[in-house]
Structure 1
Amino acid sequence: MESTLESLERIGLLVPSTETPGGYVAIDPDAALYRLFAAEERQVARHKEKLARTRDSIRAIMGDFMNLRAYGRDVIEVETLRSVSQANAFLDDAVSLVKSRECTMHPGGIPPVDLMDDMLLRDSEVMSRGIKVRTLYAQHIAEVPHMGEYLESASQLGMEVRLAAHLPLRMLLFDDSLALLPIDPQDSSQGAFAIRGTELVRSLQSLFDFCWHNATPFEPRSQKSHSEIEITAQEQLIVRMLAAGMKDESIARQLGVSARTLSRTIAAFLDRLGVETRFQAALKVAELGVLNTPATPLSPQPGS
């Protein structure tokens, strides 16, 4: 009985009274429920207020924690180059700014022969500045004649070349801070990502180094030895005049031959040297030391 009275008192349906025989006065149920709901609302309000203070404290802690995590973190910047021309323009700027090292990886795609001279000129300019250049090509690319000749000429300039049966993607790395990766590894025409950030570029460098150590050093194709390549007096003069920057028309006049004959003579000379472009021929002739020997006098020949 006492426990029942205490329960009714607790929920507000009874209140103690000394004026009644039972010691309690009954409260109207509607009034009692109103007081119960009011008490619950006050409790909910206190809970919401406490929750809001807790949320503010957590936000403050999270803000401090995020600032702590960001402290000393390397910033990664990614620039999207949406076209081949945009990527090439960016590449030209990157090459001009490289300071110590350039590493490139070429899994596929064979440049046309008319780009070989431009590629060799660029390589020559880079390495003349003391830049260390290492390049990886897929084995099948080196088996294309004009690419094999390009790699041989680039090797003579000082480029380190290795070949691999498979390479994961096209990648260009400049020093420790810049990388160029294709947007679509299967289609380079989709453009490229230019990535700046030391931490990420170092990770990409590790990938390159792994592929490099598992690749095979490029070996030039077997050709005639230097002593077996004979250069005629006429060809020596042509080489010297080309080296002096003379145009084909002027050279033909100096030799007393037609422009067509000169063109055939130069083509046959390139074929005998085993190269396809004049720039490659210049490298080969320099290696043979032709320009270091006195020119052999040559009497003008009748035109043909």
Structure 2
Amino acid sequence: MTLGGGDLGHTDTTGTHPHGMEDLCADGRRLYADSLRLGRIRRSEAETAPCLLEFALLQPDPDDSAWLRPVPPMTALSQRLLPLERDIRQRREQAVQLAQAFEPFLSIATHSRPTTHAITVLEGVERINEAIRLAQSNCRSEILSVQPGGGRSEPALTTSFRLAQEAPRGIVARVLYQHTARHSPGTLNYARMMNDTDMEFRTARELVDRLIIFDRAVAFIPAQDDRKVALELRHPGLVDYLVKVFDQQWRNADPLFREQPRETSVDGVPEIQRTIARLLVEGQVDEAIARRLGMNVRTCRAHIAKLAAALGSGSRAQLGYLIARSGLLDDESAPEGQEPEGQD
């Protein structure tokens, strides 16, 4: 490093002194102090602290090359502070220039109607999590959360527990899992630990995707299947719609610690396999069905095999045809409260 350089960092070529001048090694501090007290030290003594020469805290004695003399501390300090002060001055000048550039726009914004970003695109897991943490820290009354995909991972549960403990008392939280979460010891233990809080857990057979709503004012939904892009929604109409969607799912869900209702069956086909049949007819692949129902792909394929055996199907293509002809999904063809077309 040259004198007056702006970089305080230093890595010695030998790899023995990877430190900056602001964090001198023990040998460097001791030898520099000795040189100041004695006026000079032998060059051979300074071999254990080559950083002193590289940082120009020692310089050759003009009268005897076997000795080194210390550079006065005030001189060394001034040489390092000068580039920092110059950088600070330049940044202040840049800040003034930016303020002057935005001044005309600030005056316009002051006299115009305030606007809210109704939809904000959040890219990257870190930015998504930071936005959710900020919304949770500002939450004062209610959290609604849909967590599809079966049991939660240990790190996710640990983070959720820590955040729940840090949240202000009095916040009511309702969390929706899928029925498969009932077989996850970690998720069940987490729910039991939260028994003394205002959190309530329910499970449903099928959930569309992840959703979090804070105080019915801001909602977060994924924008991609890999969940690396999310949308932060603050438009009152959108958030209110999502609250209604959540409430409907909540009403149809079962409390986590209540015995799950026994599977109903139609013509010997359990409800879970009827749900899979519907998704197969919709053209969903095995991986998408498993994700939708919160189970692993192997379990999903086992249900598909049982469904195929029940309908006498010999191939995947034939299975879709047999499902359509079996009448298995006839009572699911029309929305609730609406008669199928063609009926008086």
Higher relative contact order (CA 8 A, sep 6+): 1
Q: TM-score normalised to the size of structure 1?
A: 0.45
More helix by share: 1
Q: TM-score normalised to the size of structure 2?
A: 0.40
Structure with higher Rg: it is: 1
